[in-house]
């Protein structure tokens, strides 16, 4: 009995396709695991940042309350009596006084508005 040259041949076509399918599925699986890990890490960072923002909001509220307490009228009066705050009279040269507009000035400003669009 004479052997044919194809009797011991390996079916490389189907083996190659199964190997390629296995490699593709393993790469897809690794990408999925990496994306899930990245999502978890980013979620943890986001949660930590939200906690930090909440803590900073709390500190801001405390600081605003402290500022309101320190700048209240009784607190300022007490500090003035202690001599910590010195009151200085405002000079007339530093004041700006606003007066109601007279009818002559109103008509003059209306005329200027008509001339300059």
pLDDT for residue 87 is more than 90: no
Give the percent of the chain with pLDDT over 90.
Answer: 47
Asked if 85 and 76 touch (Cβ cutoff 8 Å), the reply is: yes
Q: Does the reported pTM lie above 0.85?
A: no
Alpha helices, DSSP H, located in 1-117: 12-70, 73-82, 103-115
Residue 22: closest CA among 61, 14, 84:
14
Q: What pLDDT is recorded for position 90?
A: 83
Asked if 70 and 61 touch (Cβ cutoff 8 Å), the reply is: no
The contacts of residue 86 (CB under 8 Å, 6+ apart) are: 80
What's the alpha-carbon Rg for the chain, to the nearest Å?
42
The conformation of residue 7, written as its DSSP 8-state character, comes to T
Q: What is the largest CA-CA distance in the chain?
A: 132
């Amino acid at each position: 009995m004479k052997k044919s040259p194809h009797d011991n041949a390996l079916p490389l076509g189907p083996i190659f396709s199964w190997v390629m399918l296995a490699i593709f599925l393993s790469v897809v699986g690794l990408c999925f695991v990496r994306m899930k890990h990245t999502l978890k890490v980013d979620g943890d960072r986001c949660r930590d940042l939200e906690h930090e923002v909440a803590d900073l909001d709390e500190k801001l509220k405390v600081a605003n309350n402290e500022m309101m307490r320190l700048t209240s009228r009784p607190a300022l009066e007490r500090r003035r009596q202690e001599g910590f705050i010195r009151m200085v009279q405002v000079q007339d040269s530093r004041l700006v006084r606003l007066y109601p507009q007279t009818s002559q000035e109103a008509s003059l400003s209306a005329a200027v508005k008509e001339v300059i669009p």
